[in-house]
Amino acid sequence: MVKAKSGKRGFMALLLLPTMVGPATLRAQADAVPSAVAPAAAAPAARVNLNITPKRLSFSRNSRSASVYVFNQGNRAATVDVSIVERVMLPTGEIKTLDDALANAEAKPFAERLRSARGLVVATPRRIVLAPGKGQTVRLRVTPPANADAPEYRSHLTVATVPPRNTGLTAEDAAAQRSGELSFRLTAVFGLSIPIILRTGTPDVRADIRNVRLDEETISPDGVGVPRRTPILAFDLDRLGGSSLFGNIEIRSAAGRKDVIGLARGVGVYPEIDSRAVRIPLQRRPTAGETLDVTFVDDDLTPGRVVAKASLTAS
């Protein structure tokens, strides 16, 4: 189980929109809803399903423009905001917003190492309207810094749906509520985020795999099935060069047909961290004495190149 990936990231937020009629007092209770509060009414499913391609953008001093295609796979029209935001990777692989990371004592040191590309990237248009089954191109232009003080800068292109104007209770709905009753309507906001990387010099992509060990965890191996005790291969993926890492991890048995028994795609290590923890579920438990080969393969600048490898013999 790799807890976070550095490619496309989806998120869904819920907007809680209250409408109050007359005085009411909200009290926090663990076992009951106060009588002055009406149960939350869930809004109808938005049925907006966004997709974006490519899942990652890289620029150099010689490549200053690119485009992405945003597609509405749902059956309802969507208004989508396009923005450049900051996200920070932690050694666990988790990715937080910059504000959240700065507000967290453990995450703050990594947030302070972030080299933002936000002031160097322009995306247009900033808002698009997508009919069901339709898409639109968003163009990006970068301006490299005159005096680069880092080998790599990064921000994230985020596309997020805008709640309809009629979100919330209408005046008629509010008038129908009893005095002192507080009503809520929940509206989902769907979004996707992809990294934008600007390299200012010659890329330096080097890595190491260390501290390889077998573990066990109760999880759903494929994220869908019933959780069960599952063998895990855990290790640390170190970034040795000045550039970020992005690639795929394969775990194979060293004997026989060298079958793949563990796989993680789109694993990254960003420059604000030197190492990240990786945990990958295995399809089966290795037998005693069996050797496993762990390989990190680049999927960015030189796809297919083996960047790092290690082995473990099961006991």
User: What is 9-199's CATH topology?
Assistant: Immunoglobulin-like (2.60.40)
Is the dihedral angle over the CA atoms 299, 300, 303, 308 positive or is it negative? negative
For the segment 276-299, the average pLDDT, to the nearest whole number, is: 96
111-116: long-range contacts (C-beta < 8 A, 24 or more apart)? Answer: 111/272, 113/271, 113/272, 113/273, 114/86, 114/88, 114/154, 114/272, 115/149, 115/150, 115/152, 115/153, 115/154, 115/271, 115/272, 116/86, 116/153, 116/154, 116/155
Could you check whether 9-199 and 207-313 share the same CATH topology?
yes
Distance (Å) of CA 142 to CA 65, 192, 194, 199, 209: 6, 21, 16, 11, 33
**pLDDT over 60 (residue 105):** yes
Greater model confidence, 308 or 39: 308
Buried b (16+ CB within 10 A) or exposed e, 164-174: eeeebbeeeee
**Per-residue confidence band for 163, with pLDDT thresholds at 50, 70 and 90:** confident
Instruction: Find the distance separating the first CA and the last CA of the chain, reported in whole Å.
Output: 22
For the segment 111-137, the average pLDDT, to the nearest whole number, is: 96
d(CA 44, CA 42): 7
pLDDT at residue 225 in the model: 86
Is the dihedral angle over the CA atoms 247, 53, 159, 221 positive or is it negative? negative
Name residues whose C-beta falls within 8 Å of residue 96's C-beta, 6 or more positions apart in sequence: 87, 88, 90, 104, 107, 111
**pLDDT over 60 (residue 2):** no
**Per-residue confidence band for 186, with pLDDT thresholds at 50, 70 and 90:** low
Task: Tell me what the pLDDT averaged over the chain comes to.
Answer: 84
d(CA 249, CA 40): 44
- pTM: predicted TM-score of the whole model, two decimal places: 0.78
DSSP letter (8 states) at residue 120: G
Domain ranges of the chain: 9-199, 207-313
Look at domain 207-313 and name its CATH class. mainly beta
**pLDDT over 80 (residue 277):** yes
DSSP helix/strand/coil, 78: strand
d(CA 161, CA 48): 8
d(CA 197, CA 193): 13
Contact present, 154 and 188 (Cβ < 8 Å): no
**Per-residue confidence band for 188, with pLDDT thresholds at 50, 70 and 90:** confident
Name residues whose C-beta falls within 8 Å of residue 219's C-beta, 6 or more positions apart in sequence: 1, 227, 228, 230, 281
pLDDT at residue 257 in the model: 76
Count of CB atoms within 10 A of residue 15's CB?
14
> Which of 150-159, 175-184, 204-213, 244-253 shows the lowest per-residue confidence on average (mean pLDDT)?
175-184
Task: Report the alpha-carbon angle 209-300-205, nearest 5.
Answer: 50
> Which of 81-85, 129-133, 159-163 shows the lowest per-residue confidence on average (mean pLDDT)?
159-163
- Pairing of β 275-281 and β 228-239: antiparallel
For the segment 53-75, the average pLDDT, to the nearest whole number, is: 94
Greater model confidence, 51 or 183: 51
For the segment 13-36, the average pLDDT, to the nearest whole number, is: 36
DSSP letter (8 states) at residue 105: T
Contact present, 278 and 237 (Cβ < 8 Å): yes
